[in-house]
Structure 1
């Protein structure tokens, strides 16, 4: 074989080897691009799924809130007031309160006997509006949970009794004890006939949560500065430093005579 032939064959083999190497390199780049594209697609799909899940979660949260279901017998604008007393009573006391509010408990402790006396005698009716001021100021959900439970008690015609039990067992302002539905159900045991399957379901389902939210929104729009806000004849008597239970009784009796 001549030297020229050997050189030609060697050059041909080298060209073939070089060509094969180029093809391998091209195939490797192509596989890399394919894998990279697949990864991008997976990540993009995961992002889409994540967004959809997040939106579904938001939609679920909104839908779970549902319509504002007022408790049985609620009255007034948007049915936001729970009435206690006889419809025929000529005088009305309007109370905005928060079951976590220490000042509300202090008002209850001082004025409850007089208010009960006037209500039972048919001289006064009380319209209770429930707020969640402490939840907003200190965090937690005890104000809302307790308000929902009180609305559930109203459904059963036992609002006043349960209302009083909640204040008698009010925790420290910084303790969100009323956020525990089991605690609220336990306290219902102190009211004869209240701890029923229907009441328990109402509490656990948060049946009146949206109504409580609407009630608190009305409080925030009202311009009132705190709880309790106690209105008689359009005036906030709680802001009157000279007010006493005896004076309130005199005011009710005088208003009923006029």
Structure 2
């Protein structure tokens, strides 16, 4: 075999080897690019899922009850009671009521002066539990919004005055007027010094909404018949047609508790 043929065969082999190396390099780069694309795609899907989960969680947080923000001075188990009167009073009037409830308004209008007088004399302490039965039964948010606003009034130290103003201006049961926060703020204007920027924000933001819902949960768990439920030192005293409560009877029972 001539040297020329040998050199030709060697050159051909070298060209073939170089071609194979280039093809292998291209194949390797292609595999690398494909692998990188897969990783990016997987990360993208993962990020998308994470975003969906985060969005879902965020949505739930907004729609959920959130942390319970009780009004200042709320007492009792779960802090769902708003106290009015002297803490040392021997008689405690516990009232479960709904600002949209007509029977609650009847009770308040009939007994308010007596209750406030006994509180002022240090003989009676009242504990108000605000619930949302009418919202549930007739739909709407008036019970919730009014109770939240009353909680905001408690923060301002003006719960009793605002509570009484709401009942003096209670709309018909089927009229969800208290759902309008502008109406609640308008009535707050009847209470001296209540409408402040802090109170307005509290009402508009529903700061105590979760607390009101907690109060309703406690009421439901108590298996009470309805609103108003009125207890004096733990004993039901209102709603029995055979033995109706009157302001005079309430005063006598409170006086008896002082002696006891």
Q: TM-score range by the shorter chain?
A: 0.7 to 0.9
Does 2:86 correspond to 1:74? no
Please list, as runs of the form range in 1=range in 2, the aligned pairs for 1:15-54 lying within 5 A after superposition.
none
Matches of 1:49 and 1:140, distance apart in 2: 35
Deviations, residues 120-178 of structure 1 (Å, cap 9, x unaligned): 11100100000000000000000000000000000000000000000001001001100
Give the CA deviation at 1:50.
11
Deviations, residues 83-134 of structure 1 (Å, cap 9, x unaligned): 0001121110000000000000000111111101101111001000000000
Give the CA deviation at 1:255.
1.1
TM-score by length of 1: 0.78
Matches of 1:236 and 1:69, distance apart in 2: 29
Residue number among 246, 249, 258 corresponding to 1:247 in the alignment: 249
Question: 1:126 aligns to what SS in structure 2?
Answer: strand
1:147 alignment partner in structure 2: 147
1:192 alignment partner in structure 2: 192
Matches of 2:189 and 2:63, distance apart in 1: 32
Matches of 2:89 and 2:238, distance apart in 1: 21
Please list, as runs of the form range in 1=range in 2, the aligned pairs for 1:112-127 lying within 5 A after superposition.
112-127=112-127
Matches of 1:83 and 1:51, distance apart in 2: 44
Give the CA deviation at 1:53.
9.0
Question: 2:129 aligns to what SS in structure 1?
Answer: strand
Please list, as runs of the form range in 1=range in 2, the aligned pairs for 1:134-213 lying within 5 A after superposition.
134-213=134-213
Give the CA deviation at 1:244.
0.7
2:103 alignment partner in structure 1: 103
Deviations, residues 214-244 of structure 1 (Å, cap 9, x unaligned): 0000001101010000001322111233211
2:90 alignment partner in structure 1: 90
Deviations, residues 187-239 of structure 1 (Å, cap 9, x unaligned): 11000000100000000111000000000000011010100000013221112
Matches of 1:247 and 1:212, distance apart in 2: 31
Question: 1:68 aligns to what SS in structure 2?
Answer: coil
Matches of 1:121 and 1:53, distance apart in 2: 55
Aligned in 2, Cα 1:57/1:102: closer, same or farther, shift over 3 Å? same
Give the CA deviation at 1:51.
6.9
Structure 2 gaps of 5+ residues are: 1-48
Matches of 1:197 and 1:58, distance apart in 2: 28
Question: 2:89 aligns to what SS in structure 1?
Answer: coil
Structure 1 gaps of 5+ residues are: 1-47
Aligned residues: 212
Matches of 2:245 and 2:137, distance apart in 1: 27
Matches of 1:90 and 1:57, distance apart in 2: 48
TM-score by length of 2: 0.77
